[in-house]
Copies of this chain bind each other. A is one copy, B any other.
């Protein structure tokens, strides 16, 4: 399958590298408008130590599928993905708000769905969070429940073990005042927590769920910010995300109060830097097999490793 990579940020680069390792996939293009990348050989951008003969371009070649990693905002992503769909390509996107497109922008979602059907291709938003830990995985777990009363998911990430960009993103090293300012301007906030919660609510058939989200700092011993604690609540659903330097017992933990109850722990957590590109790439065959349209993780067949 011929694949084009759209966006060469950290996730996009990791996805492109992974495509190169998969025997069933052929990377045929890389699209990025950032002048630091435009026109360069992709092998150099990816620091492979050898050229790939693929120049980074803003004019995508034709392929069977695109991996799209440029924005968290669904409305912005939908405009870009529409061009991808018009070119006849399936598209998997890391856009966080594309997890549940109709929740974020119902008209854009309906238009994109119609466009997908017209061009007989499929689009889905996924990743590890959102896309797996707090939505797809707990939804699957409820399949062995007769009844569910509540779901509580906690994801604890030791930001000290993650890339510097993530440490900056969670506010590590800021003063509490600086942190507050960045929270108020929306610069410190994991995008997708509300989307994961609404995904679960929809899967469970729970209507009338209103989500509230809070973002607060976790302070280190020096009084400065070590990272962030973000909480989304709605109905009987609670999603709790802690990402800070030195967080003890990193893990993903899912409590389902129900019949039977389930208590699931991913010890050490799911390493997002590795897991997100994996999900993007592994989902491509499921997308190509699916009926044309705008999909969610609920409407595709079971994702799993593709070799």
Q: Which residues of B contact A203 (CB under 8 A)?
A: 302, 304-305
Which residues of B lie under 8 Å from residue A266 when comparing CB positions? Answer: 262-264
Contacting pair A274 B260 (CB below 8 A): yes
Instruction: Tell me if A140 counts as interface (CB < 8 A to partner B).
Output: yes
Within 8 A of B (CB), among A231-253: none
Expressed in whole angstroms, the Cα–Cα distance for A268 and B263 within the complex equals 8
A139 partner, pick from B260, B264, B304, B307, beta carbons under 8 A: B304
Interface membership of A8, Cβ < 8 A: no
* A282 touches which of B143, B259, B281, B300 (Cβ 8 Å): B143
Minimum CB–CB distance from A92 to chain B (whole Å) comes to: 12
Q: Decide: B307 and A204 in contact? CB cutoff 8 A.
A: yes
Q: How large is the interface on A (under 10, 10 to 19, 20 to 34, 35 or more residues)?
A: 35 or more
A210 within 8 A of B: no
Q: Which residues of B contact A10 (CB under 8 A)?
A: none
Residues on the B chain within 8 Å of A77, using CB: none
CA of A87 to CA of B143, assembled, Å: 27
Question: A128 to B281, alpha carbons, bound, how many Å?
Answer: 28
Stretch of A44-52, A56-64, A144-152 at the chain-chain interface: A144-152
B-contact bits for A269-307, CB 8 A (1 contact / 0 none): 011001111110111000000000000011111111111
A132 at the interface (CB under 8 A from B): yes
- Residues in B with CB closer than 8 Å to A263 are 266-268
Could you list 13 examples of A-B contacts with CB < 8 Å? Answer: A136-B302, A143-B282, A144-B278, A145-B278, A146-B277, A148-B305, A203-B302, A204-B304, A204-B307, A206-B307, A260-B278, A298-B302, A301-B301
